[in-house]
Structure 1
């Protein structure tokens, strides 16, 4: 499905919100190093940030779910966003800047992923009604 067709036939919400979540995932991936964290928070941010970026990119590429249910990946990204927001308190961020970066980025990822879930659900509903 081309980008032109997907934005005219359905809402562009899942594509845009998932893409923004993927970009925030890239920030989370590097934030432990850029903001000079230490300990397990660096590894956590790297792994979970990579998973958010990959999940957001997948959800942006296939807003109708592709081979998976439409809401599966955005829900996973939302859960990972909530974890990123909670991780500095669980894993001791060591830096106030890293703590607030994780909290803000995690909450933004969760909200954007929730928007993507809603948009993907609308897209599958409209596709099912037309079929």
Structure 2
């Protein structure tokens, strides 16, 4: 029989960073209700903030289970964070609170998720270990 083993170089920091990213995603959803931006920006905050929260939460739980952070999921969260930086300009958000909340939250998400992507690039290395078969 053989068994897969995984080595994780970055320890549990990926889980903490992902959890912090998920909390920022929750803030983005909450800020849509607090600042009442225009309708398009409101729904953008709800949908993108929820996606950030769920995907980053998945990575946090995955890292808590002694697995490495999913690089693809962290990359998607980083791209969503960059979108949150650009979205207020696209939707022409005039209200300062909603504008700066989206820009700062998006930048924070992009930096945190980018860190996770950088740390997880070569983190998971699966090796096959063979056990002697006895009959």
Q: TM-score, normalised by structure 1?
A: 0.81
1:48 alignment partner in structure 2: 48
Greater mean deviation of Cα atoms: 29-38 or 50-59: 29-38
Bigger RCO (CA 8 Å, 6+ sep): 2
1:36 positional shift: 2.2
Q: What's the counterpart of residue 89 of structure 1?
A: 89
> What are the equivalent positions in structure 2 for 1:17-96 lying under 5 Å apart?
17-63=17-63, 64=67, 70-96=70-96
Higher helix share: 1
Query: How far did 1:111 drift?
Result: 0.5
Count of residue pairs the alignment pairs up: 119
**Structure 1, unpaired ranges of 5+:** 1-7
Which contiguous aligned blocks of 4+ residues in structure 1 show a shift greater than 2 angstroms?
Answer: 63-66, 118-123, 127-131
Structure with greater proportional strand content: 2
Greater shift after overlay, 30-39 or 109-118?
Answer: 30-39
Gaps of 5+ in 2: 1-7, 130-135
